[in-house]
């Protein structure tokens, strides 16, 4: 078993809210304009660095906050409400920190405590399966050299280091590369209709020198159970919960300010119309339900990680419940972000309001780890006890890998 990770929570929910919510409120300002102009989030990420947001799960002994998984995800939902692109951009950072906690690697934990952020370069264009890599780590002289092209490099444009999945003599390996290292080229060419500010473009590695201590162990697709698939999926669900929370706020503000209504409406003002009230109530319920589902799975991950991260029963519980939550949360949020337009007429579709961004962003996040596969996997597991589809590891140092 890896090093002990049982750490009692030493920071309260209120202390965390007091520290981070003012930053979230600052980030929320201008979200519509950023979306419209495709202005990347360099300033906003800097603000998060300044308050050491990336140190939430770093143990106090290494300079972090020692927050629980539940506390982290509660804040990720709030951050997602302020700017849905940011939790997704930081998605791999959290798993990297968890892996270093499990491996008791104080060097990288202390770096994260000081504000260091980690992005990823896992997926490759034109490759049929996520566990086949044309990106290669090869021995050159006394060192190592990395060459290859990655797509969907989420968060890497904002990161200090990039976690890269590569092939080394037929083995899948995780490598940590400085984002500004010679031979690293990044492009903001993600062309999806939502989540356009996540920094999810192409990263090219050309003759990048990799020291021995940056080779962390098995990479994406390593066989066996891992907490990482549930954890990574839950970040996406936190994004969705945040989108629902912001949609509730935005539509309520719009209805309160509206004085026009339809000639056959039940009230003179939309905010007094019972049908409009019902729509807003459904959106509010969706936001509540999405948050509750995310935090329930976060509790499962807390139990798993506090037990060392390897208990097979706890692993299966977290993995299966994250997949079940995915099915619940996606439906709630997609319905809510489409139905919000029922509270008004054509004026609610104004591009100045940018309310369409909620559905576009939610639909884009929901397409990650497609729901149809997760639903089938859960059904097969319930009916036939088929194994769950674990798939991800952020890489640990070699001595921490069994």
Task: Measure the CA–CA gap between 249 and 362, rounded to whole angstroms.
Answer: 16
Task: Measure the CA–CA gap between 112 and 158, rounded to whole angstroms.
Answer: 14
pLDDT of residue 396: 47
Q: Examine the fold and report which residue of 117, 151, 168 is the final residue of a domain before the chain moves on.
A: 117
Q: What is the DSSP letter of 234?
A: H
pLDDT of residue 400: 35
- The sign of the CA dihedral 6, 12, 18, 21 is positive
Could you tell me if 101 and 40 are in contact, meaning their C-beta atoms sit under 8 angstroms apart? no
Q: Examine the fold and report which residue of 197, 218, 239 is the final residue of a domain before the chain moves on.
A: 218
Flag whether 128 is in a domain.
Answer: no
Ranges in the chain, pLDDT < 70? 1-9, 126-132, 219-223, 392-402
Residues 22 and 75 in one domain: yes
Flag whether 122 is in a domain.
Answer: no
Flag whether 83 is in a domain.
Answer: yes
Parent domain of 272: 228-393
Return the closest-CA partner of residue 243 out of 200, 198, 287, 298: 287
pLDDT of residue 112: 96
Flag whether 174 is in a domain.
Answer: yes
Residues 295 and 371 in one domain: yes
Task: Measure the CA–CA gap between 337 and 356, rounded to whole angstroms.
Answer: 8
pLDDT digits (tens, 9 = 90+) for 203-224: 999 999 999 999 987 766 666 7
Task: Measure the CA–CA gap between 106 and 61, rounded to whole angstroms.
Answer: 9
pLDDT of residue 3: 42
Residues 233 and 306 in one domain: yes
pLDDT of residue 223: 65
Task: Measure the CA–CA gap between 177 and 184, rounded to whole angstroms.
Answer: 9
What is the largest distance, in Å, between two alpha-carbon atoms of the chain?
A: 80
Task: Measure the CA–CA gap between 247 and 283, rounded to whole angstroms.
Answer: 8
pLDDT of residue 393: 55
pLDDT of residue 220: 65
pTM here is: 0.93
Residues 154 and 243 in one domain: no
CA 202 to chain centre: 18
Could you tell me if 104 and 2 are in contact, meaning their C-beta atoms sit under 8 angstroms apart? yes
Task: Measure the CA–CA gap between 369 and 367, rounded to whole angstroms.
Answer: 6
Q: How many structural domains is the chain composed of?
A: 3
pLDDT of residue 65: 97
CATH number of the domain that 319 lies in?
A: 1.20.140.10
């Amino acid at each position: 078993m890896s090093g002990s990770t049982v750490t009692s929570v030493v920071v309260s929910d209120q202390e965390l809210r007091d520290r981070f919510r003012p930053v979230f409120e600052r980030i929320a300002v201008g979200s519509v304009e950023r979306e419209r102009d495709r202005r990347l989030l360099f300033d906003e990420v800097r603000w998060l660095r300044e308050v050491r947001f990336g140190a939430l799960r770093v143990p106090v002994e290494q300079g972090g906050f020692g927050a629980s998984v539940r506390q982290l995800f509660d804040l990720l939902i709030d951050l997602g409400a302020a700017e849905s692109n940011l939790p997704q951009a930081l998605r791999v950072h959290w798993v990297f920190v968890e892996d270093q906690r499990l491996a008791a690697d104080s060097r990288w934990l202390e770096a994260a405590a000081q504000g260091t952020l980690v992005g990823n370069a896992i997926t490759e264009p034109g490759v049929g399966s996520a566990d086949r890599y044309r990106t290669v780590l090869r021995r050159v002289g006394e060192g190592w050299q990395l060459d290859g092209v990655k797509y969907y490099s989420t968060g890497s444009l904002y990161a200090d280091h990039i976690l890269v999945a590569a092939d080394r003599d037929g083995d899948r390996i995780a490598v940590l590369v400085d984002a500004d290292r010679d031979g690293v080229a990044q492009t903001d060419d993600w062309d999806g209709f939502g989540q356009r500010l996540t920094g999810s473009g192409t990263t090219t590695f050309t003759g990048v020198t990799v020291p021995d201590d940056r080779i962390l162990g098995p990479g994406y697709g390593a066989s066996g159970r891992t907490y990482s698939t549930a954890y990574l999926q839950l970040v996406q669900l936190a994004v969705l919960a945040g989108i629902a929370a912001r949609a509730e706020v935005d539509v309520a503000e719009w209805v309160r300010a509206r004085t026009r209504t339809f000639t056959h409406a039940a009230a003179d003002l939309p905010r007094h119309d019972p049908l409009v009230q019902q729509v807003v109530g459904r959106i509010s319920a969706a936001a509540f339900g999405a948050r509750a589902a995310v935090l329930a799975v976060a509790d499962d991950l807390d139990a798993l990680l506090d037990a060392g991260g390897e208990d097979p029963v706890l692993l299966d519980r977290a993995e299966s419940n994250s997949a079940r939550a995915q099915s619940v949360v996606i439906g709630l949020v997609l319905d809510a972000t489409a139905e919000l337009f029922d509270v008004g007429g054509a004026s609610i579709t104004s591009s100045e309001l940018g309310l369409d961004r909620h559905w576009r962003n939610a639909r884009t996040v929901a397409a990650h780890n497609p729901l149809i596969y997760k639903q089938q996997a859960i059904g097969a597991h319930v009916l036939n006890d088929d194994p769950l589809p674990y798939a991800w590891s952020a890489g640990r140092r070699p001595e921490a890998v069994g």
